[in-house]
């Protein structure tokens, strides 16, 4: 399809389908303007892909809870919702718009290969895709801030071979440089501007992840059978066990929740 009018009609039907799924905002990017230097090239993932449709969803208050189970349970809910939106939109594009579509992983799977130092680089970076789709800009915390929804948002989306008009870039960076995110990061992972110290962040935000597992098993093999039995009855082992079946279990959401931009007050929505 090349006619501009038809492309605009199709784009708006895709936007309206996405919005009706219940997401908070939807943006369109041309694949050529997506630029994530460390991630795979889109043509190696989906030859012929031309556009990206990215959806933003605001997280509810669960992630502000000091109770890590409540915070993470809400995250699991929004990931499931995001996966539902991803698949539904891909299906809509393939069954109603005559295009091909592939969903972007919201978090995992991603390549896990220590010799390539992967495990923290997604095949497709949703933050770079969201910026290309005009949904926001990188803030001081290296997350993408949406001008109205703020920082407390997660992204999901699809790539497609349909040619869809891209949305304009976000007019101004919504970050007000207040440094609240930097001061509140319990790991000091944001001290250097433009870079998250991934390992500092992971130690605090995923204390029962891969590093804990490696440390546990390295220690385990040095112990007697009696000591090994005791190691299975520790908080560390039980938390690790749970984190493994959840996938990634986050214990820190600070940079995500303290940012004042777009922060919703209960009074904004009360009664509506
Ligand atoms: C792996 C991963 C992590 C890793 C590594 C993070 C990292 N810095 O790359 C760890 C475990 C540390 C992590 C932590 C978090 N993550 Co995370 N993570 C991902 C994942 C799966 C891949 C990210 C990736 O590929 N990074 C590697 C490459 C792309 O990054 P990079 O090239 O090095 O670019 C970085 C810097 O160079 C810099 N940068 C690049 N260009 C520019 C331009 C400017 C102007 C500036 C200032 C900076 C900048 O920022 C980039 C990101 O750090 C994505 C999902 C996805 N598919 O994209 C979610 C994702 C990025 N995570 C997300 C979130 C919310 C978090 C956490 C808040 C944890 C939590 N409790 O939810 C923290 C925040 C940490 C932080 N402030 O940086 C959201 C972000 C939403 C948003 N509003 O932007 C995503 C998009 C998940 C989603 N589906 O929405 N995450
Ligand atoms: S998730 Fe927590 S530890 Fe990681 S950068 Fe954000 S505030 Fe720091
Ligand atoms: S907390 Fe302040 S400095 Fe950090 S991203 Fe938000 S507006 Fe920018």
Would you give per-residue pLDDT tens digits along the chain (272 residues)? 457 888 889 999 999 999 999 999 999 999 999 999 989 999 999 999 999 999 999 999 999 999 999 999 999 999 999 999 999 999 999 999 999 999 999 998 988 888 886 788 999 999 999 999 999 999 999 999 999 999 999 999 999 999 999 999 999 999 999 999 999 999 999 999 999 999 999 999 999 999 999 999 999 999 999 999 999 999 999 999 999 989 889 999 999 999 999 987 765 555 54
H or E element, residue 8: helix 4-21
CA–CA dist 92, 106 (Å, integer) = 19
- Tokens 């669960």 appear where? 62
Distance CA 147, CA 135 (A): 8
- pLDDT at residue 2, rounded to an integer: 57
Tokens at 198, concatenated:
């991934």
Residues in contact with ligand 1 (CB, 6 Å cut-off): 36-39, 105-107, 120-122, 124-127, 138, 141-144, 151, 153-155, 194-196, 198, 201-202, 205, 250, 252-253, 255-256
Kindly list the distances between the CA atom of residue 14 and the CA atoms of 41, 131, 165, 197, 272, in Å, as whole numbers in the listed order.
24, 19, 12, 37, 27
Q: Is 81 exposed, middle or buried (0-12, 13-18, 19+ CB in 10 A)?
A: middle
Contact 104, 126 (CB under 8 A): yes
Point out the ligand nearest to the CA of residue 178. Answer: 3
Please give the pLDDT value at position 217. 97
DSSP 65-96: -S-HHHHHHHHHHHHHHHHHHHHHHHHHHHHH
What pTM, to 2 d.p., does this model score? 0.95
């Amino acid at each position: 399809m090349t006619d501009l009018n038809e492309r605009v009609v199709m784009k708006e039907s895709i936007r309206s389908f996405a919005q009706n799924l219940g997401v908070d905002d939807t943006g369109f990017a041309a694949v050529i303007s997506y630029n994530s230097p460390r991630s795979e090239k889109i043509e190696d993932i989906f030859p012929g892909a031309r556009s990206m449709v990215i959806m933003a969803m605001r997280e509810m208050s669960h992630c502000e809870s000091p109770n890590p189970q409540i915070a993470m349970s809400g995250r699991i809910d929004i990931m499931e919702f995001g996966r539902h939106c991803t698949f539904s939109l891909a299906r809509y594009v393939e069954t109603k718009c005559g295009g091909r579509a592939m969903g972007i992983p919201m978090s995992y799977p991603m390549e896990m290969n220590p010799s390539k130092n992967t495990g923290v680089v997604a095949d497709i970076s949703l933050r770079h895709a969201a910026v290309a789709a005009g949904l926001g800009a990188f803030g001081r915390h290296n997350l993408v801030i949406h001008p109205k929804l703020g920082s407390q948002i997660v992204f999901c989306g699809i790539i497609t071979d349909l040619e869809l008009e891209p949305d304009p870039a976000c007019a101004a960076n919504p970050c007000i440089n207040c440094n609240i995110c930097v001061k509140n990061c319990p790991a000091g992972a944001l001290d250097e501007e433009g870079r998250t110290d991934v390992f500092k962040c992971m130690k605090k935000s995923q204390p029962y992840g891969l590093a804990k597992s490696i440390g546990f098993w390295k220690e385990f093999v040095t112990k007697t059978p009696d000591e090994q039995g005791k190691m299975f009855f520790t908080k560390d082992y039980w938390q690790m066990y749970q984190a493994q079946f959840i996938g990634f279990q986050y214990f820190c959401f600070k940079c995500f929740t303290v940012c004042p931009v777009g922060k919703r007050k209960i009074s904004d929505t009360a009664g509506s």
